[in-house]
Amino acid sequence: MANRDNTKIYKSIIYQRKCALELFFDEQTNYIVEGGTINGKTYEDITILTKENNLITYQIKYHCEIMDGMNKGLYTTLGNRYNNDCYEIKYLSSTGFSNSFIKKPKELYEHIIKKKYESKELNNVKQYLIELGCDESINYLSKFIFHDGLTFEEINMSIMNKIQKIFETNDYFNISYIENELKNVWITLS
């Protein structure tokens, strides 16, 4: 962590918050939690309950380069046993994924089980997948959807367009005010 520059950390936090705000305005979202608990279970980053009563967790990663390998954040997400209760687990990278990035459940399972590198996060995932067994692990891993995230510009435009539509305003200052008021609160939709 010593090599990590504070600008990247700040951008990562802002990017996640913007993703949460964009999901908040999504018409399918019924309830949203950012880094919190739903029904006594803790989820990372953003978890929504849809109007169809499906849990979807979003693991948000802000990267400066295309993601081409596994990392601690992905292992942490894979190892969260509560994610198995989710309908989908969407892993978003702001820069996208390389063509060599493993996305197929069976390949992902084999890669993790055979991986020799030792870390707490990887060991937790391996242990969980071994407990589940091969077939159930592949079913679990098939819930993971790897998405290329929006750029800052794209996500800002998406939020602005949704605010314009919902609040029927084209005034930039009103839109900015609404976004800033909502940005730092956890919101439950009724």
Domain boundaries, the chain: 6-149
Residue 57, CA distances (Å) to 43, 104, 173, 183 in order: 7, 19, 32, 19
Q: What are the pLDDT digits (tens) for 100-140? A: 788 899 999 998 998 877 789 899 999 999 999 999 999 99
- Residue 4's pLDDT is what? 57
| pTM of the complete model | 0.83
Q: Are strands 41-42 and 88-93 parallel, antiparallel or unpaired?
A: unpaired
- Per-residue pLDDT at 141 exceeds 80: yes
* All residues at 6 or more sequence positions from 68 whose CB lies less than 8 Å from its CB, including other chains: 97, 98, 100, 101
Order of strands across the sheet with 88-93?
29-34, 46-50, 55-61, 88-93, 144-148
pLDDT band at 6 (very low <50, low <70, confident <90, very high): confident
- Per-residue pLDDT at 44 exceeds 70: yes
Distance of alpha carbon 48 from alpha carbon 37, whole angstroms: 11
- Per-residue pLDDT at 25 exceeds 60: yes
